[in-house]
Amino acid sequence: MFMLNINVSGQNKNRYVIGYLLWRVMTGRHDVIEYMMQVPGHARCLVDSGFASLKKLFRRSDCDALDQLETVVNKSSATNVAVRYPAWQ
């Protein structure tokens, strides 16, 4: 089985990829090809947007201690909440 997961944003290459896969089946290289794609409109994840806002604020902040990093995480978004691991000794 030949598995292919295509994730190319902004470029519609489906026609060429399907043609290539069809050629592989027609020439006997594979019996079954499983072609997986993301559902249109579901390519973005809300978790990714939370990390993006944190990354953006972190780049503009001066963090020298875990307390400062916790403050940056909490200020980055209304949904971001810092969860600290038990204090290091």
pLDDT single digits (tens) 7-36: 555 556 677 888 888 999 999 999 988 887
Work out the burial of residue 32: count CB atoms within 10 Å of its CB; fewer than 13 is exposed, 13-18 middle, 19 or more buried.
exposed
Model confidence, pTM: 0.48
Answer for the pair 33, 64: CB distance below 8 angstroms, yes or no: no
Residue 73 reports pLDDT greater than 80: yes
E strand or H helix at 55, and its extent? helix 46-59
Annotated domain spans of the chain: 2-36, 46-76
